[in-house]
Amino acid sequence: MEREKVIEVEGLVKKFGSFVANDHLTFDVFRGEIFGFLGANGAGKTTAIRILCGLSRPTSGKVTVAGINANHPEEIKKRIGYMSQRFSLYDDLTVKENIELYGGIYGMTMKEILPRTEDLLTRLSFSQYGDTLIRSLPLGLRQKLAFAVAVFHDPEIIFLDEPTSGVDPITRRQFWEMIYETAAHGITVFVTTHYMDEAEYCDRVTIMNEGRIVALDTPSALREKYSSSSIEELFVKIARPKTETA
Amino acid sequence: MAFVKKEFLHIFRDYRTLIILFALPAAQILIFGYAVRTDLTNASLAVLDNAHDEVSNELILKLDASEFFDIRYHLTSYDEIDPAFKKGQIKAAIIFPEDFAGRLTREGNAAVSIIADGSEANNANLVTGYTTAILNDYSAGLTKQLTSAMPVIVPEVKMYFNPNLESHFMFVPGVITLILILISALMTSVTIVREKEFGSMEVLLVSPLKPWQIIVGKVAPYFFLSLVNVIVILLLAWFVFGLPVKGSIALLIAECMLYILLGLSIGILISASVQKTENAMFISFLGLMLPTLLLSGFIFPIENMPKAYDYVSLVLPPRWFVEIIRSIMIKGAGFSYIWKETLILVVMTLFFMFLSAKKFKVRLGEGGK
């Protein structure tokens, strides 16, 4: 059975001057999949995710996100969600105000926003925090809420840029449960991480090094191929030596 | 629009921003109004009267009676003058020589020494000027009495637009100029750069909001608040200092809006060029506040500056805006008198808008790391 592709990337090149940040990337992501993107800092993960989100244009190559060519970033932006490690929510606004803001930004009306807000707060058992300033919530709760807000407008794809950095293991666990639940609803999850154990949770994993994709497969297939017991060991094997000799 | 509402919430949640927005203008008005006075009231004088005759007495009474001076000390010797100055108790000392009235009637002239505190040059000028005026006034009367045949030219000076040479007339336009540039340029650049610092700008850029919508959403509240501030300042100026707007208020507000737009586009340009909040504040402060204070003609008249500064001030928006505001508020000038200055501001606004739009595009195209 041929699965539906939501992201198609073919021969993507991104250059900054003479520096090649993405060197002929080619991969597809299927609907409802959890697609992991691994790589050391500077491997080109962020550049790639920025192009997929319509923040940056490819130098050459063909990129299609949610059926739309990357040359029409405005159309892509309506169909995706995004969450980064650097920023989750405005900490001087309350939980409800943040939700309202994001709903509004994605063109939802208050009529649509209000019932969904209630629904979301109950689902996360957050109801008592509705009018609390984000500032006074612990980081773990904030990240969970940020994720819920990022998928609030029902995007086709959600891009998570190192979403669990600096979060305690229990919250990370809960966070991944939310990711599974989201994927089960048919939303594609594109996640970058530097926690190798998290790579094991993905359906398929891409490992990038120096702007190139050096491996792409399911975690188990990758472990088998490189005869490693974990993705971490595998990563050290294929990504590290090259970075160090470079 | 949800985004504009969010910006208002940011502002109202942050009491520091609120203080800058509303307390600062009020404070500046009051400080400039009461403390930084360039006119003279009740300056302390010391008098050393070596004559003790009716003319010197009369002159001393005249000085004391004027609202400009207050005679605090009657000295008895020259030695007391220096300590009085050093203690900072007096602004000037007036010395009448011995046999003052006698010399005046016999020789037709007599000298009065005025020693002013030169460490405060501006004040010293005022003090000597006002003293001389009072003395002249007296001697003019004297001359008339004594030799009514001699023709005397008595200049009758009238200060047009500002009959009492009130300094409020000078500083209210200046404060408006300062506050507007502060709020519009500094606050917007800081708030936009803050979004960049927090990483929220990226989240906004990934959203379907177009970059111009983000910018408009960010600056719209400040546009509105700046206008509120203009009105607050004008009301304060009116009720506290009795300075009404002589010209058309609608024209004044329209010019203020233009100036706010100019400030906002400068703020956007700054925010597109820097990555850190501190840098944005630093640039706004050095690049906008200081020139506004020093070179706009608000405190120091441009005519008195070296030519080079004069030329520099030509490219500074505040210079033109101060001129516009002064014309409307104090001279009651209509648009036909200030269209040239307005046109200059319009051109500057378009220039900065173009520049910041371009800068933002460049940043977005290749954006980030």
- What structural domains does chain B harbor? 43-160 (3.40.1710.10), 168-368 (no CATH)
Residue B75 DSSP code: E
Which residues have CB under 8 Å from B39's CB, separation 6+?
B126, B164, B165, B166, B167
Contacts of B207 in chain A (CB under 8 A): 77, 82, 102, 105-106
**How many Å apart are CA A98 and CA B3, to the nearest integer?**
10
| Distances B180 to A179, B27, B277 between C-alpha atoms, Å | 48, 15, 20
Structure tokens at B54: 């009716």
**Ranges under pLDDT 50 in chain A:** 1, 242-246
As a whole number of angstroms, the distance between CA B271 and CA B182 comes to 14
ipTM tops 0.90: no
User: Of A46, A82, A17, A55, which is closest to residue B365 (Cα–Cα)?
Assistant: A55
**Chain CA centroid to CA B220, Å:** 27
Q: Does B208 touch chain A (CB under 8 A)?
A: yes
Three-state DSSP class for B76? coil
* Model confidence pLDDT, tens digit, residues B169-179: 777 788 888 88
Structure tokens belonging to residue B101 = 């009235």
Whether the CB of A100 is below 8 Å from some CB of chain B: the reply is yes
Q: How far is B234 from chain A (nearest CA, A)?
A: 32
Nearest to B2 among A16, A56, A105 (CB): A105
pLDDT of residue A35: 94
Judged by a CB distance cut-off of 8 A, whether residue A55 touches chain B is yes
Q: How far apart are CA B240 and CA B26, in angstroms?
A: 11
What residue spans of chain B are helical by DSSP H? 2-13, 15-18, 24-30, 54-65, 81-86, 100-107, 121-146, 168-181, 188-198, 200-206, 211-241, 249-273, 277-284, 290-295, 307-314, 317-326, 335-366
Minimum CA–CA partner of A103 in chain B: B2
Residues of chain A with C-beta less than 8 angstroms from the C-beta of B5? 101, 104
Name which residue leads in pLDDT, A110 or B30.
A110
Q: Does B343 touch chain A (CB under 8 A)?
A: no
Confidence of residue B342 (pLDDT cuts 50, 70, 90): very high
Chain A residues close to B3, C-beta within 8 Å: 101, 104-105
pLDDT in tens, B256-265: 999 999 999 9
Write out chain A in H/E/C secondary structure.
Answer: CCCCEEEEEEEEEEEECCEEEEEEEEEEEECCCEEEEEECCCCCHHHHHHHHCCCCCCCEEEEEECCEECCCHHHHHHHEEEEECCCCCCCCCEHHHHHHHHHHHCCCCHHHHHHHHHHHHHHCCCHHHCCCEHHHCCHHHHHHHHHHHHCCCCCCEEEEECCCCCCCHHHHHHHHHHHHHHHHCCCEEEEEECCHHHHCCCCEEEEEECCEEEEEECHHHHHHHCCCCCHHHHHHHHCHHHHHHC
Say if the Cβ atoms of A55 and B202 lie within 8 Å.
yes
State the pairing for strand pair A212-217/A204-209. Answer: antiparallel
Identify whether the C-beta of residue A78 lies closer than 8 Å to the C-beta of residue A70. Answer: no
Chain B 11-50, residues with CB within 8 Å of chain A CB atoms:
13-14
Q: Specify the range with the lowest mean pLDDT, choosing from A86-95, B126-135, B151-160.
A: B151-160
What value does the mean pLDDT of chain B take? 81
B14 vs A contacts (CB less than 8 Å): 92
Pair B175, B233: CB distance under 8 Å: yes
Say yes or no: B209 contacts chain A, CB-CB below 8 A. yes
Distance from CA of A221 to the nearest CA of B (A): 33
As a whole number, mean pLDDT of residues B197-223 equals 85
Among A57, A92, A105, select the one facing B13 at the smallest CB separation.
A92
Cα-Cα end-to-end distance for chain B? 31
CB contact under 8 A, B2 and A100: yes
Query: Which of A201-205, B103-107, B147-151, B316-320 bottoms out in mean pLDDT, i.e. has the lowest?
Result: B147-151
Asked if the Cβ–Cβ distance from A77 to B368 is below 8 Å, we say no
Q: Which of A57-61, B152-156, B347-351 has the lowest mean pLDDT?
A: B152-156
**How buried is B240 (Cβ within 10 angstroms: 0-12 exposed, 13-18 middle, 19+ buried)?**
middle
Extract the tokens encoding A228.
Answer: 């490693």
Rounded-to-integer distance, Cα B173 and Cα B320, Å: 11
Write down how long chain A is: 246
**Would you place residue B166 in the very low, low, confident or very high pLDDT band (cuts 50, 70, 90)?**
low
Which of the 8 DSSP states describes residue B68?
Answer: T
pTM above threshold 0.80: no
* Residue A65, phi then psi, degrees to nearest 5: -120, 125
Residue B249 CA to residue B240 CA, distance in Å, equals 18
The reply to whether residue B13 touches residue A84, judged by beta carbons under 8 angstroms, is no
Please give the DSSP secondary-structure letter assigned to residue B97: P
- Answer whether A105 sits within 8 Å of B367, measured CB to CB: no
Are A100 and B364 in contact (CB < 8 Å)?
Answer: no
Closest listed residue to residue B100, CA positions, set B144, B72, B66, B139: B139
* Interface contact flag, A101 B3, Cβ < 8 Å: yes
Closest residue in chain B to residue A158, using alpha carbons only: B206
Of B9, B200, B210, the CB nearest to A87: B200
pLDDT at A243: 46
Partner-chain contact A77 B207, CB within 8 Å = yes
Using an 8 Å Cβ cutoff, are A99 and A53 in contact? no
b/e sequence B82-117, b meaning 16+ C-beta within 10 Å: eebbeeeebbbbbbbeeebbebbeeeeebebebbbb
pLDDT value of residue B66: 83
pLDDT of residue B154: 64
CA–CA separation, B13 and B18 (whole Å) = 8
Report residue B185 as tokens.
């340029």
Residue for token pair 């009051």:
B30
Mean pLDDT of B232-261: 87
**Which residues of A fall within a CB distance of 8 Å from B365?**
56-57
Q: How many CB pairs below 8 Å do chains A and B form together?
A: 76
Contacts of A107 in chain B (CB under 8 A): 208
pLDDT of residue B347: 93
Give the span between the Cα atoms of B159 and A122, in whole angstroms: 73
A84: contact with B, CB 8 A cutoff:
yes
Interchain CB contact of A144 with B (< 8 Å)? no
pLDDT above 70: percentage of residues in chain B:
87
Query: Chain A: nearest CA to B207, how far in angstroms?
Result: 6
Contact assessment for residue B89 and residue B72, using Cβ atoms and an 8 Å cutoff: yes
Residue B85 distance to chain A (closest CA, Å): 55
A182 touches chain B (CB under 8 A): no
